[in-house]
Amino acid sequence: MIAWTDRHCRHFHRQLSRRARLYTEMITTGALIHGPRERLLAFDPVEHPVAIQLGGCDPADLARCARMAERAGYDEINLNCGCPSERVQRGAFGACLMAEPALVADCVRAMRDAVSVPVTVKHRIGLDRNEDYGFVRDFVGELTLAGCELFIVHARNAWLKGLNPKENRDIPPLRYEVVRRLVRDFPDRRFVLNGGIRSHDEALRLLEEPAPGALAGVMLGREAYGNPWMLVEVDTLYFGQAPTVGSREPVVDAMRAYVRREAAAGTEPRAIIRHMLGLFNGLPGARRWRRMLSDPAALAREGERIIDTALETLARPREPAAAAL
């Protein structure tokens, strides 16, 4: 979710659910050590519970960055072993790390020794066209010995050659049964299922397999980004609590105030508003809402006021088409 789940996106999503755990986009160790550290680590306290996802392969660098993240207040440190992009491969991290389980185990040990918050790993179920279950079983086994207690498993292989990241999210087949086998083989570890989940009905069904409570949870990525209103059901369906909001209006009010506050600090309104495009998906006028909020000229002209302009457009009934003469 690089360039998607930044701090503005997470602030928006937190308006929809109090309980969903939010994850940052992947941040590389090099960027944290040599780049704008404070900006990269920044988040609003309202985002809790929030986890930082790190990309890297050097145990000492990962331990150093994990300490930075803990000091910044993050609730979890997650190591990315699932991203298949060529750029990430050139940095020798992401999904290609699955081929080096001993190195990943050293990274996990180093981070666990450095921080007191949980250290977790996100990974795929295999590399390229190798669908041997033993590969991912041994990977998880090595990390279990290193003390990793929670695994977020994208239930597809990562094809490191021949597919781009988008194709890697669709073409390698989903194999949920592999995650179920991991649950059975490692009963003292927790597993979160990721990949291809499009609805709460599907997520809840998967949580019942192989047995109720066997999975620690599910992770939603692009579906939740594209259809953010689905997050409003999380607190009720998964935690048995009242929803955070009952309508979209309080969300818009909260984000309007947030955009105004951030704009006063120098943030371009577009950097925040772009995450709100899907808020009204499925409702009449949603297309007009998206078009208005993504119009560069209108954004430059109106700034944060564009939210109210788009709301007026959303509420305005569509004029009937002119009759042909």
pLDDT given for residue 323 in this prediction? 44
Q: Is the pTM of this model over 0.95?
A: no
pLDDT given for residue 102 in this prediction? 97
pLDDT given for residue 316 in this prediction? 61
Q: Confirm whether 7-237 and 248-315 share one CATH topology.
A: no
pLDDT in tens, 67-118: 999 999 999 999 999 987 666 655 567 889 999 999 999 999 999 999 999 9
Q: May I ask the CATH architecture of the domain 248-315?
A: Up-down Bundle (1.20)
**CA distance to 14, 96, 211, 224, 305, per residue, from 231 (Å):** 9, 32, 24, 7, 25
Task: State whether residue 141 is helix, strand or coil.
Answer: helix
Is 83 a known active-site residue?
yes
- 57, 81, 83, 148: the active-site residue: 83
User: Is the domain covering 7-237 a CATH 3.20.20.70 domain?
Assistant: yes
Report the percentage of the chain scoring pLDDT > 70.
Answer: 94
pLDDT in tens, 135-180: 999 999 999 999 999 999 999 999 888 777 778 777 889 999 999 9
Domain positions in the chain are: 7-237, 248-315
